[in-house]
């Protein structure tokens, strides 16, 4: 009798386990992914609901740290550029060189204007009168840096010419462009270099005073500085050069001097 009762209990336990196993399989099938139904591992999901911390690839703390680090870097560079020490000068030259080589603002502006018909909003737009004058006078592409005679020819040094002016005469930009150097240059003294849309450069050296700032966009004929007075104090003079690529060219071939 006991044997029969034990046998019945075993059958009931077996059916119970079988029923639980079937229910578990049915539940897994109901909530399984498409990958699991075909025998593959579940692919992790990055979908999260509201309040679950956002996307795991975006971390708010890291983003705020990068913003803070960028602000600190700009502040450090600004402090270094205001420092008069010799150690800071090396870093200043590196930053200036990087800006000169990597950011061709004048060239980019010219490309943008050719493609879309209007200059970049960050750069001053040409007025209608200026555009009309250029169309009526296509040969008047460049403005003379200053009125005066040539004291030193291009052939004397292969880089520049020396122009005689009146005492304290203004030196003006030959064409519009971006000021990408302000400082001392060997053989030129106190110098301003302007980069133009065709990537050429005009150099204005031997200046007594500079009236433009680094990375300032200036128009044609804008005053870049004042010519250095001569030793007799009666006249003045400055150096002028045009550089295309790695070579200097004779300014007389581009501009007609008196």
| Tens digit of pLDDT at every position of the chain (258 positions) | 567 777 778 888 888 888 887 777 665 555 555 555 555 555 555 555 544 555 556 678 888 888 899 888 888 877 877 777 777 777 777 766 665 555 555 566 666 666 665 555 444 445 544 444 444 343 344 556 656 688 899 988 999 999 998 898 999 999 999 998 999 999 999 999 999 988 899 999 999 999 999 989 999 999 999 999 988 778 999 999 999 989 999 988 877 665
Q: Tell me if the pTM is above 0.95.
A: no
For the beta carbon of residue 167, count every other beta carbon within 10 angstroms.
Answer: 15
Cα angle for residues 165, 170, 172 (degrees, 5° grid): 105
Question: How far apart are alpha carbons 230 and 182 in whole angstroms?
Answer: 22
């Amino acid at each position: 009798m006991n044997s029969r009762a034990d046998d019945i209990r075993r059958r009931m336990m077996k059916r119970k386990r079988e029923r639980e196993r079937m229910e578990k399989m049915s539940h897994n099938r109901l909530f399984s992914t498409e990958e699991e139904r075909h025998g593959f591992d579940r692919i992790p999901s990055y979908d999260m609901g509201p309040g679950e911390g956002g996307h795991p690839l975006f971390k708010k703390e890291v983003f705020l740290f990068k913003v803070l680090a960028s602000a600190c870097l700009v502040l450090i560079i600004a402090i270094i550029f205001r420092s008069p020490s010799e150690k800071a000068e090396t870093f200043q030259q590196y930053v200036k060189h990087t800006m000169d080589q990597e950011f061709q603002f004048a060239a980019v502006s010219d490309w943008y204007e050719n493609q879309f018909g209007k200059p970049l909003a960050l750069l001053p737009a040409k007025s209608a009168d200026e555009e009309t004058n250029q169309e009526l006078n296509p040969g008047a592409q460049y403005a003379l840096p200053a009125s005066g005679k040539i004291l030193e020819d291009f052939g004397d040094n292969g880089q520049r010419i020396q122009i005689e002016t009146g005492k304290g005469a203004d030196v003006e930009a030959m064409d519009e462009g971006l000021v990408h150097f302000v400082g001392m240059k060997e053989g030129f003294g106190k110098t301003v270099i302007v980069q133009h849309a065709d990537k050429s450069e005009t150099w204005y050296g031997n200046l007594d005073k500079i009236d433009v700032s680094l990375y300032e966009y200036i128009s044609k004929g804008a005053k870049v500085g004042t010519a250095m007075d001569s030793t007799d104090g009666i006249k003045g003079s400055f150096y002028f050069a045009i550089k295309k690529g790695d070579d200097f060219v004779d300014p007389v071939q581009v501009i007609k001097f008196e």
